[in-house]
Chain A
Amino acid sequence: MEHRKDLSKVQINLNWFTRRGVFYWPVSIMGWFIMILAIAFAIYRFMAIDSQSHSVSDTLINFVFNLLLIGAAYAVIAYFTESKKNDHQ
């Protein structure tokens, strides 16, 4: 029981990102790694979409959709790993 109590007090504070407005900026090596990975994946998706699509609008619409999804995934990771300085505001 005591052990369970101790575990509940453990707070994970990874400090990989910091938030400026709605954007998350990396502040650690892991943060930078995730950001570079997200950018590299976005470039890869752009090249893959561009090779399959028949027009510029086709490429752009698919890419923007993918870019927003990558952005949402990046934001979710950053949300859970950002430094929590001013919580409960």
Chain B
Amino acid sequence: MNMENEQNFLDQMENLKVPDVDTTPHQQKIKITIMNAERSAALGVWLIAVPCFFLFCVIMYYAFHIKSSWFGAMYKLVTGLSKNPYIDFLAPVVLLILPMITIIINTLAITHVHYEKRTISQLKYSELNITVKIKWLNILLILISLTILLILLSFAMTENISIQN
């Protein structure tokens, strides 16, 4: 009797269904960004060259009080642009729109957004994954462009307030 039980137990153990475990390594997901990082960085450098040059001249002129004709001429040039009716659009395009384009193209080049609806043990939930590639040149260009925009917007706001007062 005892031997029979033992045999039954062994048969049960042998026929026991073991859960399958996938031993293959979890494949890494390919994260394709909307734009190419290197191409966006190359274009970004050219797009923010003019506002950087302008800000460099203005900072030298006002912050460090370098009253050189070189820096004064730059300021005169940009104020002169707004007086000419044919090219009055050039100053806002160069100083505001180009840094904005740089931010957009470089952000699209380093971020990957993935939205997924998941179900784990009857629990349904949505997941939004935002991945940022560490591409230093793109990040630097975004930061420089943000700085340019912040400086110009704060300048425009303070100028407006001082004129109203």
Q: Kindly list chain A residues whose C-beta atoms are within 8 Å of the C-beta of B54.
A: 65
State whether A87 touches B36 (Cβ < 8 A).
Answer: yes
At the interface, yes or no: A57 with Cβ under 8 Å from chain B? yes
State whether B68 touches A57 (Cβ < 8 A).
Answer: yes
| Shortest CB distance A69–B (Å) | 6
State whether A61 touches B43 (Cβ < 8 A).
Answer: no
Contact residue range for chain A?
20 to 34
| Shortest CB distance B71–A (Å) | 8
Using a CB-CB cutoff of 8 Å, which residues 32-70 of chain B contact chain A?
Answer: 32-33, 36-39, 41-43, 45-47, 49-50, 53-54, 57, 68-70
Using a CB-CB cutoff of 8 Å, which residues 19-40 of chain B contact chain A?
Answer: 32-33, 36-39
State whether B69 touches A65 (Cβ < 8 A).
Answer: no
At the interface, yes or no: A62 with Cβ under 8 Å from chain B? yes
Closest 9 CB pairs between A and B? A75-B46, A61-B73, A57-B70, A22-B42, A57-B69, A68-B50, A22-B45, A79-B43, A72-B46
Q: List 28 A-B contacts (CB under 8 A).
A: A19-B39, A19-B42, A21-B42, A58-B73, A61-B57, A61-B70, A62-B73, A65-B50, A65-B74, A68-B50, A68-B53, A69-B50, A71-B49, A72-B47, A72-B49, A72-B98, A75-B42, A75-B43, A75-B46, A75-B47, A76-B46, A79-B39, A86-B36, A86-B38, A87-B36, A89-B36, A89-B37, A89-B38
- Where the two chains meet, the residues of A that have a C-beta atom closer than 8 Å to any C-beta of B are 19, 21-24, 55, 57-58, 60-62, 64-65, 68-69, 71-72, 75-76, 79, 82, 84, 86-89
- Where the two chains meet, the residues of B that have a C-beta atom closer than 8 Å to any C-beta of A are 32-33, 36-39, 41-43, 45-47, 49-50, 53-54, 57, 68-70, 73-74, 77, 94, 98
